[in-house]
Chains A and B, each alone.
Chain A
Amino acid sequence: MDISLNYEKLLLGILQFIIIIALAPFFAGLIHKLKQNFRGQKGINMFQFYFNFGKLLRKGVVLSDEASYISIISPYIILSVYLIVLGMMPAFYIYSLFSRLSDIIVIVYTLGAGVFFLTLYSLDQGSPFGGLGGEREWFFTMLSEPSLIFIFITLAIYSRKGMLVSIFDFIQKNALGGHFSIAIPFILLISLFILGLSENARIPIDNPETHLELTMIHEAIILEASGKYLGIFEYSSYIKLSIFLTLMSLIIFPYIAYTPIDIPLALGLYIFKMAMFCFMISIVESLNPKMRLFRAPNLLSIAFIISLIAMILSIRGV
């Protein structure tokens, strides 16, 4: 596949980038709304998270006296890390903005850099909860990162390509002709779903809504954040959710536009698939209790072995 850019591709890539970023809080709000409807509550406005973000941006920042320059730079670094990874995803148009950058190893370790700065931030302000949250975050990342690498390597081995864009190009071309395995995307989807729940602090692993000391993982890290920085952290967590949902939607049923004419249909399908995954996540979150912290390795080890099985399948060339 040719990934050299011209002006038209670049323009459409920027358009796609802006649309995905703008949609990210909508999906988080949709999950929240669906969960509240399951509980029998009326629920928030689906666009509530945009208002929250706007409100937080207007507020001032309070930093502790212990804080060093890490606290000032790391919100921007985390936001830019997730923006770069989201910019690599060919969500509905194949020539994504950072398509020439989208090597699979780069994606995994860029996400790792995000976690690194998140935990540095948690330690920097000297709060007792920050260290606790950072420790738990590393615990889960350490368990889930091997499976993420295996998922990408499975796709790379099966399609014999190294770039994310070329992998999904391969999958789409072969899936339409019926030459693509059903088993590999299906079990990758199971594994990726578990990873998405764990990485985005969703319910069986962590509860994003409470500030209870026993349960909080992600919330404990950003407990000290306020004002603009809190807004940036929340927005980057929506973008991270969007990254995982986009990957799932690309694996299960890729429909990516190659020409500008196909874009409206592809965009509609993209939003539909994302809404379906939001629905699934809200069902899982409503029906399951939160796990004990030390039962989480059970779930994550299952995700790891499932992606290992997928890798064996791809090596055998099903």
Chain B
Amino acid sequence: MVRLAELFSVLILISAVLNAGSPFIKFGIKLYSFQSLMLALYTLMVALYSNTSALYLSFLFIILFKVVIIPYFLFNTLKRVEIKREIDLALGIPESVLFAGSLTLLSNIIAERVIKTTVTFGSLIFTISLATFLIGAMLMITRKTLFSQIIGFLTIDNAIFLAGNSFTHGMPLLVEFGVLFDLLAAVLILSLIIIHIKKSSLKTGLRS
């Protein structure tokens, strides 16, 4: 069970790295869905490990919201604005992948210094969540279309969920629901903004 949890958490990090390595937006949304599925399975492992009943509910809600509903909205928006890929990147693809790798190394060094107490599945989880957090922030900074920035934001959220679940055996259920609904509302509003930018073709520096 511990081995499986490690596999799922590593796959979260790898899907974030792959996201940094592809300019295609459809693939990015699919990867986000996959990442959330891995997060859900990780939560299931924590639930089985620590026998917390609230975490099973959290597992179901992650699958419902993050794996199904949010990617569905994003795909719908993508269909209406008809863009396929990031056009000019602030940082090229190989550079940003290498940057993601160095962020992983950096977070490994930080995690070794910071974490002395035991976390649910070892201090490796802290490394992975910190690295995923930083890669999400990098996506938000270096990408120019709003879609990739949303995906970066959602990646950061997944990283925080991962850290929360491994440090605390699950946050209170009410907090998790609040976060999930906030996320859903944020994605809805951002999709509206994307469509609006596309329609009014404002020169805001952002692209839809």
Contacts and interface: CB of A to CB of B under 8 A. Distances in A.
A304 interface: yes
B191 interface: no
Given A182-B7, A186-B7, A308-B101, A298 B124 contact: no
**Could you tell me the dominant secondary structure of chain B's interface residues?**
helix
Contacts of A301: 21, 93-94, 97-98
B98 A305 contact: yes
Interface string B57-75: 0000000000000000000
A309 B124 CA distance: 11
A114 B109 CA distance: 37
A36 to B, nearest CB: 29
A48 interface: no
B10 A313 contact: yes
B3 A182 contact: yes
Contacts of B4: 182
B6 A309 contact: no
A313 B124 contact: yes
Nearest to B3: A182
Contacts of B124: 313, 316, 318
A314 to B, nearest CB: 11
B77 interface: no
Interface in A281-303: 297-298, 301-302
B14 A298 contact: no
Contacts of A316: 108, 122-124, 127
B105 A308 contact: yes
Interface of B: 3-4, 6-7, 10, 13-14, 17-18, 21-22, 93-94, 97-98, 100-101, 104-105, 108, 122-124, 127
